[in-house]
Structure 1
Amino acid sequence: MIELKYFPSNFYKVQMTEQPLSFTRKFVFNTNLPMTSGWADKSGATWCAMYQKDGVLTFRAGEWTCPIDGESVCTLVDGADGAAVFAVSAHGKLLFEHRYTFKKWKKLADPGYAASDRLTDDFFAWLCDIWTSKAPVQN
């Protein structure tokens, strides 16, 4: 079982079991969450997580996993219809795409709402920021 923090809450944790795959969100009475290996969020019916396993930073969406490494890139595109599209590709091939509605979308129209604020509210914006700023692995 992998213990994850529930994004962006300080009062919940997520337990992820891999065989069979299941995610369980649990309330934590003590706000001092134990050290965890990553973060998880539920978008629609899909649990998504970013965690470290066996020394490799990994993105998981349901059953699908992908290492966050120099081979893969992610993009986040905001649509005019209020939806955002998070996508992962490698070598020009689309590997994963997730369309979602940013819950605090109206805040983006507020001039006082900075892009850095979105990183604390939107799991996919936060994940994309980490993914695109990661340093390539040197062998």
Structure 2
Amino acid sequence: MATAWKPSPVIKIYEALGAVADGRVEIDGDTARVASSDKAKTYDVRHDPAAGSITANDNGSYWQGYLGYPGIAYLMERGVLAYDGGLTAGLAGVPWKELATRYRNDWAKVEKHVREDLSEKGVDLDRFDAGLAEISSRLEELALTKLSPRLRPPK
């Protein structure tokens, strides 16, 4: 029996939207390579649409058991995970790695920082939050399972 993914933290949806906004998702059929925000790493995503399975080798997907942003971004780009394209606007160029380092991987602080930036850019946060909730619920409805074999994250 295939293992289900844990629900992805909402910050991973922000990151996925950022990856899409930055054009960091390179799709090749049922696989993709997704560059990190600082372009220092590239993550591999593999998808088996017929089996409803996906895997990615980012830390969240590998170690934490939730589908991380590379897998979510791939699903968005492939049209498997519908989303409001307007949500990406304020998330282009967000330096996720730098923010994670600055806030010592305290994702609540990273999210607060990004939300303040979005607000300054004139993004309607109520609309933004509604869009995030919709993506989150669609992701759960997909009920994707973990595709084997899993690749270890890049160093």
TM-score normalised by L of structure 2: 0.30
TM-score normalized with structure 1 length: 0.32
Higher strand share: 1
Q: Which has the higher helix share?
A: 2
Q: Which has the higher contact order (CA 8 A, sep 6+)?
A: 2
Which is greater in Rg?
A: 1
